[in-house]
Structure 1
Amino acid sequence: MTATLMQMTVLMLCGAGWRILTPNRLSAEQTRLVLTSVVYYFFLPAMVLDVLWRADIGWQSLSFSLLGCASILASAALSWAICKLCRFRNPQTGAVILAAAFPNVTYLGLPVLEQAFGHWSRSVVIQIDLFAAAPLVFTLGIGLARHYGESAADKPKSPLAFFNAPPFWAAFLAVALNLNQIATPDWLAGLLHTCSGAVAPLMIFSLGLALSWRDVHLRNLPFVVPILLVKLLLMPLFALWLAGYLALAGQFKAAAVLDIAMPSMVLGIVLCDRYRLDSGLYAMAVTLTTACSLFSLPFWFHSL
């Protein structure tokens, strides 16, 4: 795990270095937009199709979904209670709940789990993301952002519209092919496997592009401390407890809990900007939870 995180850290630092040097006058925001768009619309659907077409989909998939949903909901409820107790204002409350509840299950979870456990762990990441994290982001996450933020004048987009996206269509197709026991042609399997290999390094580099120490301010520390506590300690602890009651054991249990233990998701910055929550606070939460995860993830890995 230490060697894995060192590799991830170097790749993230390369992305952070791009933010400083801006080669060919390409800013970090421009570069990240291009890379994440290519991953989201092409490479990620290819990997979803590659993984879920051959995955063992059954009761274990339901366990992954229940574990992810329950962990996110429990963290959201706990962080809401902390915000209520501390009397945080709405823009900070929305940012704190989003940062504490939603882990970076794919952008960081995928490369870390793949290096730590092997290629089979891709299936764990994809199922937790598509069957738990992503649906809750586009429903509960958007609902929280609207409630604590300020909606724009235009008509808000329905959360269901986000499911009309390449990764979800790829998942639907892959599950249909899987359940009907349709074999993957050799040429297509090779192509999908090649495309899948590009996802992890591009995601890690993009994560480095998103990190900015300029957003780290002492005034936000009282808001970030509860996020660190919930996100990196209590949320994986709850997932570990719940996994004991689900049909998960051995490496599948370890991989699922470690994926839940990932730092705050990057996508929340978009929701904070869109609904006028405290974007600076959220960016600081992403940066610090990612930095602290370099210590918390090895702890959870060895514990599991």
Structure 2
Amino acid sequence: MHMSWEDLQTIESLVRTGSVVGAARELGLRHSSISRRVDALERSLGEPLFLRGPRLRPTTLATAIAARATAMAKHAHEIEALIEGERRARELRIVITTNDVLAPLVFTALAGRALEETVQVRVSDVEAELEPGTTDLALRPGGQPSGALRGWRLGRLRVGIFRARSAQQGARTWILPSADLRKRSSMRWWKSVPDDAEGRVECNSLLSMRDACIAGLGRAALPSLLAAHDTRLQLEEEIDGGPPVWLLAPATRRADARRRRVAQLLVSSIRSARGVWVT
């Protein structure tokens, strides 16, 4: 048979208070509701739970059930406290996810801002799901967000071909992205590089491509965000194909004032970043 939590609470309260009146008062039920519930349980069990008299006397089975219900109630209260603590912590915490290329835009936007919230920035090439209670905002390259997401289009990344200032001008050796990196939709600008490009080094991240370029190992097609302000690098030419960048939030989640404020701060600051976007 199935015994509900309400059934367990009824037995526990009857055992502890010793009367239908006491249990009814504690549970906020009518006396008749308590009696009917106990009668139904006893019929289902095929044996009594209480011996009737001036005072209810629980059977061995009722006492054992009540003891376990008491332990369950303790755990239930602990779970409620855990959930409430997490809810309060969430009110003062904003979680933003982005990749290592775009992370500097987030850090610059947050720098010098007096925020009431604790902002957690999670940097990873893995695109974390925007789940309530897990991630609030995501800064990502890519196309129009799907129906499960809403977002603010911040601009299209400026991309160029760079070489080390110390490298010989006109050298045709390239630093190539790995096959996995090349497959990403945000790497469409790689089509601007000749099909027969000769490469000495292959890298699995844009940061390592930039570092290889600084070391003089070849030319590299890179977002200007990564390379334009590095005095060790020289821009040879700008190329097309930079991806749009979006600040995203769950479409189904109603943002509170704090999350809206952080989102608006990021949008305003990142859109105005110099030398980052195609104009």
The TM-score with structure 2 as length reference comes to 0.22
The TM-score with structure 1 as length reference comes to 0.21
Q: Which has the higher strand share?
A: 2
